[in-house]
Amino acid sequence: MTDRPDLPVNPVFAALDTPDLDQALTWADALRGHVGGVKAGLEFFSANGADGVRRIVDLGLPLFLDLKFHDIPNTVAGAVRAVADLGAAIVNVHAAGGPAMLAAAREAAEQSGGASRPLVVAVTVLTSLDDADLTAVGQAVPARDSVVRLAKLAQSEGLDGVVCSPAEITAIRAACGNDFKLIVPGIRPNWAASGDQKRITTPTQARDDGADILIIGRPITGTEEVGAAASRIASDLGINR
């Protein structure tokens, strides 16, 4: 089994939310030295595939490949091996895929080559779903109870952490302890527009509440000078470089 990688000192991962490879590369290049890593998701991957991922990884920034796998265990294991081989530092799956799928994802990451395996984290309940949506798809409510139950399930199957909203940090930290990684979007510096994010918190507050990685998109990529915006967030967090 390969070792779990250490997290970067700078907890900020910038979300490269674009299908445009040149745009993503321009952002990532300008962000080197100002963020701990970058995140690319389904929008980027669907447009640019494995080659696009390799181009980002080649820039040398840790990459969270946010593809939220959810399928039968054998298929998810194959997908995790494939993205681990591309050099992703963090990959994710839906906790609702169940214990066998979670265990298969973890085992696949452990079998992957390279100096260190990717972190494997779970999505619990999508923050776009409210209790009425969960009732509509036959899932238990309230959402908060499902979030904690799914986080504990992910932890018991050996996953490294979960993606959660700022509002969920305290409950998951209490249930899963200090070693479980919490990756948190919905972050807004107090000098940035909130956009469509409803329940937001500042980078400092999220870090102080117990977040390990802060996913920040538009406050960085919506500016002309992405490096300067990321640098301002780093200095808000007291990170000097």
Query: Distance between CA 92 and CA 66 in Å, rounded?
Result: 6
In the complex, minimum distance from the CB of residue 140 to ligand C5P, in angstroms, rounded to a whole number: 19
In the complex, minimum distance from the CB of residue 194 to ligand C5P, in angstroms, rounded to a whole number: 9
* 176 and 152 Cβ atoms separated by less than 8 Å: yes
Query: Distance between CA 12 and CA 121 in Å, rounded?
Result: 16
* 63 and 90 Cβ atoms separated by less than 8 Å: yes
Q: Does 17 bind ligand C5P (CB under 6 A)?
A: yes
Answer for which of 112, 127, 155, 231 binds ligand C5P (CB under 6 A) is: 127
Query: Distance between CA 40 and CA 53 in Å, rounded?
Result: 8
Neighbours of 14 (CB within 10 A): 29
Q: Looking at beta carbons only, is 73 or 203 nearer to ligand C5P?
A: 203
In the shown chain, the binding pattern of residues 56 to 95 toward ligand C5P, with x for contact by CB under 6 A and - for none, equals ----------------------------------------
Answer for which of 217, 229, 233, 234 binds ligand C5P (CB under 6 A) is: 217
Q: Does 97 bind ligand C5P (CB under 6 A)?
A: no
Q: Does 15 bind ligand C5P (CB under 6 A)?
A: yes
| Residue (of 50, 14, 49) closest to 29 by Cα position | 14
Q: Does 216 bind ligand C5P (CB under 6 A)?
A: yes
Contacts of 87 (CB under 8 A, 6+ apart): 53, 54, 57, 63, 114
In the shown chain, the binding pattern of residues 179 to 198 toward ligand C5P, with x for contact by CB under 6 A and - for none, equals ------xx--------x-x-
DSSP letter, residue 7: P
Active-site residues, by number, are 68
- Where along the sequence are the contacts to ligand C5P (CB under 6 A)? 15, 17, 41, 127, 163, 165, 185-186, 195, 197, 215-218
